[in-house]
Structure 1
Amino acid sequence: MLLTVDDDPGVSRAVARDLRRRYGDSHRVVRAESGEQALEALQELKLRGGRVAAILADHRMPGLSGVEFLERAMDLFPRARRALLTAYADTDAAIRAINVVDVDHYLLKPWDPPEEKLYPVVDALLEAYAASGDHEVTETKLVGHRLSGPSHALRDFLARNQVPYRWYAADEPEGGRLLAAAGLGPDDVPVVVTPDGRALARPAPGDVAAAVGLSTAPAEDFYDLVIVGGGPAGLGAAVYGASEGLRTVLVEREATGGQAGQSSRIENYLGFPDGVSGAQLTDRARRQAAKFGAEVLTTREAVGLEARGPARLVRLDDGSAVAAHAVILATGVSYRRLGVPGEDAVCGAGLFYGSAAVEAPACRGQDVIVVGGANSAGQAAVFLSREAKSVTIAVRGAGLEASMSHYLIEQVRAIDNIAVRTGTVVCGVQGEDRLERVMLLDTATGTTEEVPCGLVFVFIGAAPRTDWLDGAVARDPRGFVLTGADLLVDGQRPAGWSMERDPYHLETSLPGVFVAGDVRSDSVKRVASAVGEGAMAVTLVHRYLERL
């Protein structure tokens, strides 16, 4: 943008006309007739991520003078070059402009002919601006505090949903400029600024999803197939269901990918000999599902399941419901919480559940603890070791062999700054505004050690997200969903079973409702098996629909 500000409408139009004649092909020329009006234009442009190359401001204007306006404009666009316009020589104004706003040029009116008096000055301004290295930011912008639970949650949400965004710390200059342009302050963060310039203060994930263009409401009243959960099993089912002609909708409460989507590197998945990150695998699967016509809803949580005659109804947390002929449950599992004193106070402020990829830059030069002994913990440790000073894997068992793949154990052993502490659990965390210390318990000796540490990543256990299914389908004592032959007791079908056949392999105690992936009782906790079960569940859905 080239911005000209003059309270005389005739002068304002004349300056803009001459600028457009010379620079209109490469710059957007905007004129304003007051400093206040110009500031509004600059604030809007700042939120949209645009750039201002040069500002030409009249010195003597009612309200904000030219120097006062340029001083406030600098707060928003410090790299914009600045020129002051005046009708006569004013030595005091020139000196003040140089001292206060570091004005680049002082121009006298009239500027005729512009080829001699105006364009050489503007050429110099644009040349100086080009050398400043300023860049346009068209992505979503997120302003927040570095170690803050709400800020971390939104960073994680945007990253896992593959929404391009730029992060700004609220206590750094550019973050402050964005907040000022939105009329907000540090107490209002986190703030999400959308590409069209809307600023959302402390928004809920659903508000962010709607603002950045993610689907949050179903497009149809009835589907052939509803899939609950967007991890590998759910995405696999969406790809196969939609590709085979089923009207398919996938409902995900946070972001597609599940735990696998948070993995920094998956090296044992078929077809990727060099490995693939969870985010890359998720992005490809989601695009593949969309290609075949599957609909994906984000930030919508399933809260109830019931049968309505031949239809199956999934109730959502916003009070709406999605109906279909069949349902596939692929809600996966979530990492168990530590359950130790001080946990809530530092969650998201140094203590993280998964999300190693999002917070990796904060690990540079730090001592980091990874809690857990399965593949997700090993993958995170390997990834974080590239930036961290040291990484300690704290595992409850006697070693990694019981739960971690052999190839990953070999990688961990080969990295010098990774240490493994066996027979060790976290029994406490401490800190005021952020994590500062971790209490480690040696399970063999019963001794406790206090370790200074500002970053802990937790990958322990598997808690199924199935409370909302209470009374709808049968579950095992740990909450995992029972299917197929596991539902038969002494050869008898489950109570209330309405079909003249036994449940199919992945079918629950409610006919037409199937399960795929980690949430199934006694499932294999691997990405490949989850994807395979998603595809198999679709085959069984077809078989179920044929016999309705």
Structure 2
Amino acid sequence: MVMNEAFDSLLSPASGQMDDVPTSTMDFPLPPSLESRRGQMFPKLSPAETNRLLRFGTVRTWQPGEILFDPSRPGVGMFVLLSGRILITRKNGLGIEIPIIESGPGHFTGEVGQLSGRPPLAYGRALEVVEALVIDPPSLRAVVVAEAELGERIMRAMILRRLGLIETGGGGPLLIGTPGGAGMVRLQGFLSRNGHPHLALDPAQDSVAEDVMKLHQPRPDELPLVVCPDGTVLKCPTERELAHHLGLYIELDPDRVYDVAIAGAGPAGLACAVYAASEGLSVLVLDTHAFGGQAGASARIENYLGFPTGISGQALAGRAYVQALKFGAEMVVPVEVTSLDCTGFPHALQLDCGARVSAKAVVIATGAKYRHPAIPELEKYEGRGVYYWASPIEAGLCRQEEVVLVGGGNAAGQAIVFLASHAAHVHHLIRGADLAKSMSTYLINRIGSLPNVTLHRESEIVAIEGCEEGVSAVHWRHRQNGSMQTKSTRRIFVFVGADPNTGWLENCGVKLNDKGFVCTGLDLSPADHTQSAHSKNGRQPLPLETSVPGVFAIGDARASSTKRVAAAVGEGAAVVDQLHALLTLH
């Protein structure tokens, strides 16, 4: 099980101070990494602090044995116990109930999912007559904003609780299949990048997983099996099917008009969500896979302002994701925007799930996707030995193996440094003569000092060998002298440039340049200004606005963008002022 550092890193060094754990609390075991932080996970509020929260909620009463909350129902928010005791438990995918904590007066329930009303990942049962203050998700968000010090303690506890569930797999599904299988890696990546707890079991090593396999007898194409907390068994589900069953979706109201809809939850989209929501705008964020986008797969970013020791893309995205939830932004993952209708006001976005949502303004933040080089049968091995990112899941698969990595940009450099700490050797292929034109100096120097990395200049892959199980070997050729080299390997990592995710903008009037990137502001010619709909209302496009009024573009999808995480975050913040300027016109 890979611990999701996106949530672990949300806790600042200053949060190491211990809170006193009341002796009346029954102490059930915690993961070793969290035992020293038990007091922060389960703090006890003073009577004065509890009284300050009364204005945010409603007091209710439960009888002994009654359920306060469970994963089968939408999350109702946070419970602050006023009297009586409750037992909080979790269930694994086999229905085994495991105690988490027995709580009494002054304790509160919940983890980060309750900020957005997601179904809880635990069960709460009254052990005696219980009186509790129920604070619904909107009011809970108001608490963490209005009550600064108290809100910080509540947020820290909720993040630590989610982290504890991630480490133990509590409240999440069991994934049963062969480690490294395409479906296994796909679903592990989806759940990990979205910070959802789960456990991966190998039926060859685990007797419980073996018994489940014998019971359901799946075909090879039905793996992995996913045993959900309610006992339902899914056979090789899509990410969307799994998300639906786990309650990760929120219901979209077709009649609601958002102030802004953001397509893409990478650094640019998340920054826009945080700043727009914190300034009172109603915000909807849509993404096809997970928060963090392409940057979320970066193993370590060392030149981002304010993080001198570096931070992973997933950790940075995790911080921004929780911030956006804190301020009330709504997140829907996984869902794809298939088209944009700008023929009227408000704008309408058609989603691949069949839903249609409306917004006064639309922000295009769909970023870019790694390019697929023209290598025969490359797609055949995607997810079965060919990868376009290097997360802890992929790194865990290549321990003590020789791997091949293709690409000369910063993302490739970050992946090499990360993989070199796991793999026996990394063979690095680039088409050019050196790295200086495409990679930051600090990464070049770092890679140069690694004894288990070999740089193969002016080289390109020409063929991949493999079978149904995956890749077995790779052949590459020197571009100048034509010499060939073959390397036995099971893992190939590809980082060879990116294409914009803008295909969904066809026929909506948004101008793209010859490479498919979105034109905004100064990228639009005087003729574009004259021909665009802006001319009808007598104004010029705003700097980050497209050729269609009310539609903006930020981050890697935008033409002339810097293609750096910091620049994307800056554009996400900057566009909010322009959104305010637009919205004042309506």
TM-score range, shorter-chain basis? Answer: 0.7 to 0.9
2:341 alignment partner, SS class: strand
Q: Which SS does the other structure have where 2:557 is aligned?
A: coil
Which residue is equivalent to 1:236?
271
Cα gap change, 1:196 to 1:447, in 2 (>3 Å): same
Q: Are the structure 2 counterparts of residues 382 and 178 from structure 1 closer, same or farther at C-alpha, using a change threshold of 3 Å?
A: farther
Work out which of the residue numbers 459, 477, 502 in structure 1 matches 2:495. 459
In structure 2, relative to structure 1, the CA distance for the partners of 1:530 and 1:175 (3 Å cut) is farther
Structure 2 matches for 1:142-541, cutoff 5 A?
142-174=175-207, 176-177=209-210, 179-180=212-213, 183-185=216-218, 187=220, 188-219=222-253, 221-433=256-468, 434-472=470-508, 473-489=510-526, 492-497=529-534, 498-541=536-579
Provide closer, same or farther for how the CA distance between residues 287 and 492 of structure 1 changes in structure 2, counting only shifts above 3 A. Answer: closer
Compared with structure 1, are the counterparts of its residues 137 and 471 closer, same or farther at alpha carbon in structure 2 (3 Å cutoff)? closer
TM-score computed with the length of structure 1 as normaliser: 0.74
Supply the distance in 1 between the matched residues of 2:374 and 2:96 (Cα, whole angstroms): 42
C-alpha distance in 2, partners of 1:219/1:495? 31
Cα gap change, 1:448/1:321 in structure 2, threshold over 3 Å: closer, same or farther?
A: same
User: What is the CA-CA distance between 1:310 and the residue it aligns to?
Assistant: 2.5
CA distance in 2, matches of 1:504, 1:280: 32
CA distance, structure 2, for counterparts of residue 526 and residue 354 of structure 1: 17
SS at match of 2:530: coil
Q: Deviations over 1:124-165 (max 9, x none)?
A: xxxxxxxxxxx9965422112223222221111111111122
- Stretch deviating more after TM superposition (486-495 or 329-338): 486-495
Q: Deviations over 1:219-275 (max 9, x none)?
A: 562100000001000100100110010000000111110111011111111111111
Query: For 1:365-421, what per-residue CA distance to the aligned partner results, in whole angstroms no more than 9, with x for missing partners?
Result: 110111111111111111111111111211112211112111111111111111211
Partner of 1:56: none
Find the counterpart in structure 1 of residue 108 from structure 2. none
Q: Secondary structure at the match of 1:256?
A: coil
CA offset digits 1:168-193 (Å, max 9, x no partner) = 12433346336248634363311222
For 1:490 and 1:308, locate their aligned partners in 2 and report how far apart those are by CA, in whole Å: 21
Letter in 1 for 2:324: A
Q: Which one-letter code corresponds to 1:438 in the other structure? A: V
Once the two structures are superposed, what CA deviation does each residue of 1:331-386 show, in whole Å capped at 9, x if it has no partner? 00001112311212221111111143221111111101111111111111111111
- Alpha-carbon distance change, 491 to 296 in structure 1, aligned in 2, over 3 angstroms: closer
- Contact kept? 1:238, 1:289, Cα under 8 Å: yes
**Per-residue deviation, residues 5-39 of structure 1 (Å, max 9, x unmatched):** xxxxxxxxxxxxxxxxxxxxx9xxxxxxxxxxxxx
Larger-Rg structure: 1
Task: Please give the alpha-carbon distance, in whole angstroms, between the structure 2 residues aligned to 1:312 and 1:411.
Answer: 47
**Cα shift at 1:449:** 2.1
What is the alpha-carbon distance in structure 1 between the residues aligned to residue 580 and residue 169 of structure 2?
50
**Contact 1:499 1:511 (C-alpha < 8 Å) held by counterparts:** no
- Whole-Å Cα distance in 1 between the matches of residues 488 and 452 of structure 2? 17
In 2, are the aligned partners of 1:483 and 1:505 still within 8 Å (CA)?
A: yes
What's the CA shift string for 1:506-533, capped at 9, x where partnerless? 1111100000100001211111000110
Residue 175 to residue 520, structure 1, CA distance change in 2 (3 Å) = farther
Structure 2 residue matching 1:457: 3-state secondary structure = strand
Q: Is the 8 A contact 1:262 1:357 kept in 2?
A: no
* Change beyond 3 A, Cα 1:492–1:349: closer
AA partner of residue 174 (structure 2): K
CA contact (8 A) 1:47 1:178 kept: no
- Report sequence identity in percent: 38
Evaluate the alpha carbon distance shift between residue 180 and residue 462 of structure 1 in structure 2; reply closer, same or farther with a 3 A threshold.
closer
CA distance in 2, matches of 1:493, 1:144: 58
Give the superposition deviation at 1:426. Answer: 1.6
**In structure 2, C-alpha distance between the alignment counterparts of 1:443 and 1:356, rounded to whole Å:** 30
Q: 1:323 and 1:492, CA in 2 relative to 1: closer, same or farther beyond 3 A? A: closer
Answer whether contact 1:143 1:175 (CA < 8 A) is retained.
no
CA–CA distance in structure 1, aligned partners of residues 352 and 273 of structure 2 = 21
Equivalents in 2 of 1:493, 1:506: separation in Å?
18
Instruction: Indicate the SS of the match to 1:493.
Output: helix
Deviation at 1:460, TM superposition (A): 1.2
> Quick one: structure 1 residues 355 and 215, their matched pair in 2 at CA, closer, same or farther if it must change by over 3 Å?
farther
Structure 1 residue 494: deviation in Å?
3.8
Query: Offset of 1:437 from its aligned partner?
Result: 1.1
Q: CA RMSD in A?
A: 2.3
Secondary structure of residue in 1 paired with 2:481: coil
Q: Is the 8 A contact 1:306 1:312 kept in 2?
A: yes
Distance in structure 2 (CA, Å) of the matches to 1:45 and 1:418 = 41
What amino acid maps onto 1:476 in structure 2? N
Letter in 2 for 1:146: P
Segment of structure 1 superposing worse, 194-203 or 425-434: 194-203
Inter-partner Cα distance in structure 1 for 2:309 and 2:240: 36
The gaps in structure 1 that reach 5 residues or longer are: 1-25, 27-43, 53-134
Counterpart in the other structure of 2:94: 47
Q: Equivalent residue for 1:8?
A: none
Q: Deviating runs (4+, > 6 A) in structure 1?
A: none
Indicate if the aligned counterparts of 2:513 and 2:519 stay in contact, CA closer than 8 A. yes
Alignment of 1:129-140 (within 5 A): 138-140=171-173
- For structure 2, which runs of at least 5 residues remain unmatched after alignment? 1-27, 29-90, 100-167
In 2: Cα distance, 1:424 partner to 1:311 partner: 51
Question: For residues 49 and 384 of structure 1, do their structure 2 counterparts lie closer, same or farther at Cα, with a shift above 3 Å needed?
Answer: farther
CA distance in 1, matches of 2:584, 2:369: 35
Q: Distance in 1 between matches of 2:171 and 2:541?
A: 52
